[in-house]
Amino acid sequence: MRWRRKIRLIWALVLVGCTGALLPLDAPIDPDFWVERGAWVVLTNQDLQQLPAATRLAAGKQFAVSVPPVKLESGQLAGTTLNVSVLQGQASISATQDLTLTFPVTAPVTSLAWEVPNQAACALQWQWQGASLEMSFRLARDLSGKVDVTLATAPTLQANQAALNDPSNCLMQTAVGSEGSLEKQLSDIIASTLTASYVNAARSILLTVVPIDYEFSGSAQLSSDASTLDLAARFSKPTDNIASLLRHNGSYAATALDVAMNTQCHPCAEDVPPPKQKVKALPVQPATPPVTSAVLRRAVVFDKALLAHMAWAMTRNGQLCSRVSAGIESLLPTSWAADAAPSLGALVGTGPVGASFWPGQSPTIRLINRDEAAAVEWTIEDSLLEVSAPVAGVELVVLRIEGSFRLTLAPKVSTGAVLHVVDATVDSAVLSSPLVPGADLSAGGGLVAVVQAALRGIFFNGFGLSTGPSNGVVVGSTHLADQLWIWLAGGSS
C-alpha cells in the first residue's frame, strides 16, 4: 500500500523499538500537536546539481533497441536488435527549473541483412559514429509528497555520422535508389525506438531517486498492545516544480516539513500536554558541509521544538519506561556493585546485569557541542533507575537510583540520523537497595559508570531516523541556534 510506504520514514523518525500494527488514522491530528517547519531536508547547492547526476545509475546501461523490418520497394531490411550503450551524461537545471539530461549514446557495429525476393540475402553493417540524447523533465510534488516526473519538452536524439556499410555493393545492384534513404529511415526508426525506451527508463530512475529524499509525508497510527501513536508529516508548502521542491538559499536548498505526533498516555507517564511550539523560520546557513566522496550530501535538520515534541511523545507513549534484562555487565568492571555502592559489594554476585528506567517527566532539551560535533542533552527530572543482578543465584533489583538524569544523545556514523546515548550522569542521586531495606546507601566513585552503562544498555537502539547503511552514513553534525544538523552521505561515488 502506497500510504504505508510513504510513512515508513515518518514513524521510524519517532520511535525505535516500538512494534505494532500500522493503521490509517481515524481522524486528522489536532493542530495543537503539530510542529510547523519542525524538520528540514537540506541539500548543498553543489550536491543539488548532483541530484540529477544520480541518474548516472543509468550510465553504462545497455538498451536493447528492437528494430522492426524496414520494407522498401526493392527489398526489405530484416529486423534486428541493437544494443545501445549510454555513456556518462550531464545534467543541468534550466532557468525554468526543468531538469535537463544529456547523454551520449553509442551503438556497436551491427550486422543487418538486406533481403531481396529470389536472391540471396546481402550483408550490411550499420553504426553510429556519435549520438547524443537530450531529455528535459519537470519534477512536481504535491502536499502529500507525491512526486511526478513529466517530460518538459520532447526529447531529441542528435545522431552524427550514421554509417551504413555495404561491402558487397548489394544496394547498388538493386533498385533501392540510394543507400542514403535507407540510412535515414533506419536512423529515424532507431532514434524513435531508443528515445522512447530511454525516456521511460530515466523517468523511472527519477521517480525512484527523488522521492527517497522527499517521501516524508503521510500519516499513520502505530498501534501495539500497550498504546497507540498517531504520526503525520506534510510539506510546509506545495510545489509545482523542482524550484519549489528545493528552495535555494545561498549555498544550499531545503524543504521544510510540518510534523505531528500524538499518543495515548501510557500508565507510566503523567498526563501532561505537549510543550508549546511556535512557527519556525528557514534554517540559517549551516557551516560548510563535510567533504565526502559521496554522490549526495544531505542533512536532516531537527528543530529543538520538534525534538522536545518527540521527547514528549516518546515519554507519553511509554517508550522511555524501558528495561534491558542483561548485557550491561559487559560494559562494567566485575567490581561494579562495590564501586557504585560499597555496602552492596559482598551481596551482589557475578552474572547478567539488567536495568529499568522510569522517567519522572518528559526530557527537557538542550543542544550542545560535544567532541567537535553536535549532541542533544536530555534532562529527565525525578526519575528512577533500577539495576538488577544475581544475588545468590536469583535476579533481584540491587540498586535503586533516584534523581535527575542527564543523557547525551548523538548520531553515530553507521546508523543514520539516529541519536544514541553516548553519555549519561545523574544529579542529586539518592541511592537505596531492596537488599538493605530502609537504608540510604552512600554512593561510590563508580556510580556514574553504572548509570552510563545502564542507560546506554536500555536505549541501545537509540532514537531517530534509521536511514540504513546505503544512504545514511553520518558524515558530520552541528547545531546552530535551536537546530540540530545531521549530515548524511548517500551512495559513494
Partner 1 sequence: MSMIDAMIVSRFDPILMICAQPREACIGLIGSLPRFALARCALWLVLVLMVLSGCSQNSKCEIGLCPIGTECDSGSGKCVEITAKAPNAPKLRGAYAVVALPGLSRAFLGYASAEQSLVWIEQQGAKIKTQFIAGPAAGDGPGPQGQVCAAVAAANGDVHIVWISDKEQTLWYGLRTQGRWKRTRIDAVPPKRAARHVAITLFQGAPLIAFEDEINGGVSVVTRDDKGVFSVETVPLPTGANVVLQGDLSLVGGLSGVTLGMYDAIEGDLLLASRSSTGWKTARFAGNEPNMGSDAGLPVVLGRDLAGGLLVAWRDRTRNEVMLARSVGGKVQKSVITDGLYAVENRQISRRKIVGTALAIAVLPNGRSVVAVQDASQARIVVATEQANGQFKAAIMPTSDRAQFRPKLIGQVDGTVLVSWLEIDPNGSGEGRLTTWILTQPGESP
Q: Please pick, from the candidates 142, 188, 270, 427, the single residue that binds partner 1 as defined by CB under 8 A.
A: 270
Question: Stretches 180-188, 207-215, 383-391, 411-419: which one binds partner 1 (CB under 8 A)?
Answer: 383-391
Question: Is 271 near partner 1 (CB under 8 A)?
Answer: yes
Calculated CA dihedral for residues 448, 450, 451, 453, nearest 10 degrees: 120
238 binds partner 1 (CB under 8 A): no
Among residues 346 and 481, whose Cβ is nearest to partner 1? Answer: 346
Binders of partner 1 in range 100-159 (CB under 8 A):
none
273 binding partner 1? (CB under 8 A): no
Pick 54 or 399: Cβ nearer partner 1:
399
Q: Of 438, 445, 470, 481, which lies in the binding site for partner 1, with binding defined by CB under 8 A?
A: 438
Stretch that binds partner 1, among 3-11, 57-65, 303-311, 437-445 (CB under 8 A): 437-445
Closer CB to partner 1, 108 or 267, in the complex? 267
CB within 8 A of 68, min separation 6: which ones? 79, 189
Tell the residue number behind the cell numbers 529511415, with chain if given.
185
Of residues 404-433, which lie at the interface with partner 1 (CB under 8 A)? none
Smallest distance from partner 1 to CB 396, Å: 5
* Count of beta carbons in the 10 Å neighbourhood of residue 432: 17
- How far apart, in whole angstroms, are the C-alpha atoms of residue 422 and residue 405? 13
Q: How far is the CB of 9 from partner 1 (least distance, A)?
A: 25
Q: d(Cα 116, Cα 327) in Å, to the nearest integer?
A: 81
- Asked if 434 interacts with partner 1 (CB under 8 A), we say yes
Kindly state the smallest distance separating residue 426's Cβ from partner 1, in Å: 18
* Binding of partner 1 by 337 (CB under 8 A): no
- CA distances (Å), 137 to each of 101, 152, 192, 401, in order? 8, 5, 18, 61
How far apart are CB 294 and partner 1 at their closest, in Å? Answer: 38
Residue 269 within binding range of partner 1, rule CB under 8 A: yes
Q: Is 321 in the site for partner 1 (CB under 8 A)?
A: yes
Distance of CA 5 to the CA centre of its chain: 13
323 is a contact residue toward partner 1 (CB under 8 A): yes
Binding segment for partner 1 (CB under 8 A), chosen from 29-37, 118-126, 237-245, 263-271, is: 263-271
Among 136, 255, 292, 356, binds partner 1 (CB under 8 A): 356
392 binds partner 1 (CB under 8 A): yes
Minimal distance, residue 455 CB to partner 1, in Å: 17
Complex with partner 1: residue 201 or 436, whichever CB lies closer? 436
Distance of closest approach, residue 23 Cβ to partner 1, in angstroms: 19
Minimal distance in Å, beta carbon 271 to partner 1?
7
The span of 278-286, 298-306, 352-360, 420-428 binding partner 1 (CB under 8 A) equals: 352-360
Within 13 Å of residue 251, how many CA atoms lie on the same side as its CB? 8
Binding footprint of partner 1 on the chain (CB under 8 A): 267-271, 321, 323, 325, 343, 346-347, 349, 354, 356, 358, 384, 386, 388, 391-397, 434-439
